[in-house]
Amino acid sequence: MRIRPLDQPGDLGWVVQAHGELYAAELGWDASFEAMVAKIVGDYAAGHSDREAAWIAELDGARVGCIFCVRESDTTAKLRVLLVHPNARGHGAGGKLVDTCIAFARQAGYARMALWTVDGLLSARKIYEANGFELVEETPEHSFGHDVIGQLWARDL
């Protein structure tokens, strides 16, 4: 398992495509989810500061995961678009990606890190809890073609 910066041709498109395909197949989410990921990736690609970064996880030379660290405010970093492809589950990719993101946010001078997810993504929840994130808020909403419970998680750095 290798974690590298998101800097190769095709990385940006892979992040969007992998999210769209995986969440549609596993959760039945509609194209609005892929569109949201495309916006996040597009905003990052259009210009990011030195206090923002993104990474790709590779297994045997193939992309199998990703994570972004972006600015929410001067003091808070936001963890975005964590994904581990089924081919890499059980290899520690998720934990390594989150560790990398947290270490970067600390080095970049953020005091806090937050993330938004939905209830029911149990593997991700375990990774977040293992890395010191705490559930701050839950909000019922209709997103991605389904009724979901949006969750805000955060931790001090």
Q: What is the pLDDT of residues 47-63, one digit of tens each?
A: 999 999 999 999 999 99
3-state helix, strand and coil shares in percent for the chain, rounded to the nearest 5? 40, 35, 25
Q: What is the mean pLDDT of residues 123-147?
A: 92
The model carries a pTM of 0.94
Q: Is the model's pLDDT at 6 over the cut of 90? A: yes
Number of H helices, E strands in the chain: 4, 7
Query: Which residues, listed in sequence order, are joined to residue 114 by a DSSP beta bridge?
Result: 78, 154
Length of the chain: 157
Give me the amino acid identity at 95. Answer: G
Q: What is the mean pLDDT of residues 80-92?
A: 91
Give per-residue pLDDT as tens, 30-47: 999 999 999 999 999 999
- 2-111: CATH topology is Aminopeptidase (3.40.630)
Coil, strand or helix at 11: helix
Q: Residue 123 — very low, low, confident or very high, per pLDDT cuts 50/70/90?
A: confident
Distance CA 3, CA 21 (A): 22
